[in-house]
A and B are shown apart, each in its own frame.
Chain A
Amino acid sequence: MTEPSAARAWAVIGLFERPEDLLRAAARLRGSPLGRVQAYTPYPVHHLDEALGLRRSPLGGMVFVMGVLGALTAFAFQYWMSAVDYPIVTGGKSPRSWQAFVPITFEVMVLFATLTAGLGMLFLLNRLPDIFHPMLASRAMEKITRDRFALALESSGGQGVDVDAAKKVILELGAQEVEVLPLPAPAPAAPLNFLLGLGGALVAACVLAGYSTYWVIKLYPELPPMSHMERQPRLNAQSPSGFFKDGRGMRPAPVGSVARGHRPYLIKTPEEAARLVNPLPRTTETMEKGRVLYAVYCRVCHGFLGDGRTTLTSAYGAKPADLRIKRLALAPDGTIYHAIMVGKNAMPSYAYELKEDERWAVIHYLRALQRAQDARESDIP
């Protein structure tokens, strides 16, 4: 004959009317051998953590570490970009000006810290993807989310709580009502479908937002708040301006002045320019120099391969030439030199940006681009 074992449950819940009662009861019940003590309240009750003997949340430490990491990341990133990878002197400041990095360092620190606090709380501490808790199946939950304070003895390790003993203890502590949640622990209805739906909706929302942003920027590159600094008081090259008396935006050079190192370019037509000869030897250094200069001055318009696939938006309004076409491939170096010197239609002159040997270096590289995309079998070594 086995003795009928005492009734066991997943949890025994007691409801209290006031937070003080809960605090007192929690302190007394703390460490009870009957089960794990948990409290449920409609709002955060001060000092409940002490009464329950909870350990300190690890969130503060996590936030601190991530904040420091964010600051270091941002600082190192900016330093690398501005001082190592592509040093540019702006406003007469050294590319190593730490002062300029501070605001972004600060902001990224805050970003890392707050994201850690929010996501760490939701995912690590509140176990977020798991949206079900057995307590949600209880009747008491409705009252807890309104105006009652609950203390529960919950089963730890699956053996269940001794119902009679737990009930007795909780009633002795002054609970008004007691509810028993039977074993086995209530299971979630269909959380998987819900989660899949939620994840799917999130992905769809991201895709939608991404594509609509992309297309809006593509179609309306100059939507009012983002006029890309188009409209600002400035003098435009080759444009009229009311600022000067003669109504011209560009200033003529003082009569008789010649820029240092300037060589007059007297050629007027591409045909005339055809007789110019590229003076630079075709060495690896020249090619490398031409590659860098092409990337800086020509690539935005003529594309990575010289195929005219511009990276500019439609606001530019002109179609840069495909530099691989037969006419240009066969044209002598001088014709291309002429295009760089005087420009052509929507292409401005690059005579001032590039020095003479730099122009010829770009042309060498351009030739290599043309050839590379029209390779012959004999080119294979």
Chain B
Amino acid sequence: MRIAALGALGAVGAALSYFAAGPARFWVNWIVWMLFLASVGLGALFLVGLEHLFIARWSVPLRRTAERVSGLVVPAGVAAVAALGSLRVLYPWTRPEAAAKAVLAAKSAWLNVPFFCARTLLCAGIWAFSYRFFLGGSLSQDASKDPAMNLRARRFAPVFMSLFAVTVTITAFDWISSLQPEWYSDIFGVYLFAGVFLSGLAGTAAAVLHLSGRGRLPGVRGDHLYNLGALIFAFTVFWSYIAFAQYMLIWYGNLPEEIVWYKSRVEGRWLPVILFLALLRFAVPFAALAARDAKKDGRRLLWVAWLVLFSHWLDLYWLVYPELGIGPRFSWPEFSFALMFVCAGLAWMRRQLTLGEDMPTGDPFLKEGLEFRL
């Protein structure tokens, strides 16, 4: 009830900002949050896909939670379709002047409105379908106990992995890179993937700890948490590696068409933001999770998970917001958007957490998963 009220308040503020602060600011915030929801959902979906791909046993007790979190791809897909309204406001390649620029004219086979819309619909469709496929099979197994469901999911997993790689790359290039369409970075899809998997892990970890704190995941022990923590730790380093690799190559080459992107992101008032991001997203989680026992410690893992989620939002903000050209700002429009999307996400998660049993009780590997020891 309180969530609904706060969310409605946020929605009113967000709607007002369209008129008071201008459509550009409205859509920039919208895209940041749309990408945020998509990231958490997709990351969790990736975790589910990984389990099936590698026939992992340890994560079976946590799989239902990951499946539920991955449901965020549904509202994210809806938000992405709605965000198509931003194309003419934010994206320079939609403007008539773009045809005059040789670089943009050459890219127009990819960057044109009908194809962009088709890609967005396709991505949203693929996410929703994959989510339904994994979750549906898993839910039906609760009652039927039919091991054939595992085989079905296992066969789909490699297909899903390929689709996942392509759609995440498309999302990164379309929604973020093409805000500055002359700029390019080959690794940018991987950069977004690092953030996606991290935030998916963090979302799953937060949900797991929420449920197990209420005794809903009996048998989930420090050993399981350790693996979640280790993955968060590993991908913290992975993100930092990719982020720095991209930055260093562009900084070294110092080519005009590449460096502009960083010039508007690491100079002036954005410098403190990126330093803060490096601290929150690399230094703190690294230090917090480096020790062996730290990864088993639920309390610590919980705050690290929330920190990772927040820093992913900050990352997206840092990627998208500079295109407005007004420097880093966080005032009532941003606050309203945060309120609206966080409340919507939490409300959706509350619904998701009632889907099926808390653990995949029909999965023949559940017992083995619960017995998992490091």
Least Cβ distance of A104 to chain B in Å?
12
For chain B, residues 336 to 374, give those with C-beta under 8 angstroms from any C-beta of chain A.
373-374
Verify A46–B373 contact, CB threshold 8 A. yes
**Which of A77-85, A95-103, A263-271 has 4 or more CB atoms under 8 Å from chain B?**
A95-103
B248–A103 CB distance below 8 A: yes
* Complex interface: chain B residues within 8 A of A64 (CB): 290
Q: In the complex the two chains form, is B247's CB within 8 Å of A99's CB? A: yes
- Measured CB to CB, the closest approach of chain A to B248, in angstroms, equals 5
Count of interface residues, chain A, beta-carbon cutoff 8 Å: 11
Interface residues of A in 48-107 (CB under 8 A from B): 60, 64, 91-93, 99-100, 102-103
- Any chain A CB within 8 A of the CB of B292? yes
- For window 147-163 of B, CB contacts with A under 8 Å fall at none
A46 and chain B: residue at smallest CB distance: B373
Given the complex, which residues of B lie within 8 Å of A47, measured CB to CB? 373
Knowing A60-B292, A64-B290, the reply to whether A99 touches B374 (Cβ < 8 A) is no
Kindly state the separation between the CA atoms of A93 and B259 in the bound complex, as whole angstroms: 14
CB-CB contacts below 8 Å: A344-371 with B: none
A103 to B251, CA, bound (A): 14
Which A residues are in CB contact (< 8 Å) with B292?
60
Check if B254 sits within 8 Å of A91, measured CB to CB: yes
Partner of B252, one of A46, A60, A91: A91
Closest to B244 in A: A102
From 85 to 100 in chain B, residues with beta carbon under 8 angstroms from any chain A beta carbon are none
Which positions 224-267 of chain B face chain A at CB distance < 8 Å?
A: 244, 247-248, 251-252, 254
With a cutoff of 8 Å between Cβ atoms, the chain A residues found around residue B373 in the complex are 46-47
**A60: nearest chain-B partner, CB-CB:** B292
- For residue B251, give the distance in angstroms from its CB to the closest CB of chain A: 5
Number of interface residues of B (CB under 8 A): 10
Mostly, the A contact residues are helix
Contact A100 B252 (CB under 8 A): yes
Bound Cα distance A51, B247 (Å): 49
Task: Report how far A47 CA is from B252 CA in the complex, Å.
Answer: 49
A92:B254 contact, CB within 8 angstroms: yes
Contact pattern, A 102-122, Cβ under 8 Å of B = 1, otherwise 0: 110000000000000000000
Q: With contacts A64-B290, A92-B254 known, is A102 near B248, CB below 8 A? A: yes
Given contacts A46-B373, A46-B374, contact A99 B251 (CB under 8 A): yes
**C-alpha spacing A345/B193, complex, angstroms:** 60
Residues on B with C-beta less than 8 A from A100 are 248, 252
Chain A, Cβ-Cβ closest to B293: A56
Q: Give the distance in Å from the alpha carbon of A190 to the alpha carbon of B288 in the complex.
A: 50
Min CB–CB distance A101 → chain B (angstroms):
10
Q: Which residues of B contact A46 (CB under 8 A)?
A: 373-374
CB distance from A37 to the nearest CB of B (A): 22
CB B215 to nearest CB in A, in angstroms, measures: 26
Q: Give the residues in chain B near A92, CB-CB below 8 Å.
A: 254
B369 → A minimal CB distance (Å) = 16
Shortest distance between the CB of A74 and any CB in chain B (Å): 15
Q: How far is the CB of B10 from chain A (nearest CB, A)?
A: 40
Task: Looking at the assembled complex, report how far the CB atom of B373 sits from the nearest CB atom of chain A, in whole angstroms.
Answer: 6
Task: Give bound CA distance, A46 to B252, whole Å.
Answer: 47
Name the residue of chain A whose CB is nearest to the CB of B241: A106
CB contacts (< 8 Å) of B290 on chain A: these are 64
Residues of A near B374 (CB, < 8 A) are 46
CA distance A100 to B252 in the complex (A): 8
Docked complex Cα distance between A256 and B292 (Å): 75
Bound-complex Cα distance A218 to B248 (A): 36
Within 8 A of B (CB), among A11-61: 46-47, 60
Q: Which residue of A lies closest to B291 (CB)?
A: A60
What is the CA–CA distance of A64 and B252 in the complex, to the nearest angstrom?
30
Which residues in window 269-308 of B have CB below 8 A to A? 290, 292
Chain A residues, Cβ within 8 Å of B251: 99
Q: How far is the CB of A191 from chain B (nearest CB, A)?
A: 36
Contacts of B247 in A (CB 8 A): 99
Q: Which residues of B contact A91 (CB under 8 A)?
A: 252, 254
* Bound CA–CA A197/B174 (angstroms): 65
18 contacts between A and B (CB under 8 A): A46-B373, A46-B374, A47-B373, A60-B292, A64-B290, A91-B252, A91-B254, A92-B254, A93-B252, A99-B247, A99-B248, A99-B251, A99-B252, A100-B248, A100-B252, A102-B244, A102-B248, A103-B248
Which residues of chain A have a CB within 8 Å of any CB of chain B?
46-47, 60, 64, 91-93, 99-100, 102-103
Counting from the closest, the 5 A-B pairs by CB-CB distance are: A99-B248, A99-B251, A46-B373, A102-B244, A47-B373
**Known pairs A99-B247, A100-B248, A100-B252. 13 more at Cβ < 8 A?**
A46-B373, A47-B373, A60-B292, A91-B252, A91-B254, A92-B254, A93-B252, A99-B248, A99-B251, A99-B252, A102-B244, A102-B248, A103-B248
Interfacial residues, chain B to chain A (CB-CB below 8 A): 244, 247-248, 251-252, 254, 290, 292, 373-374
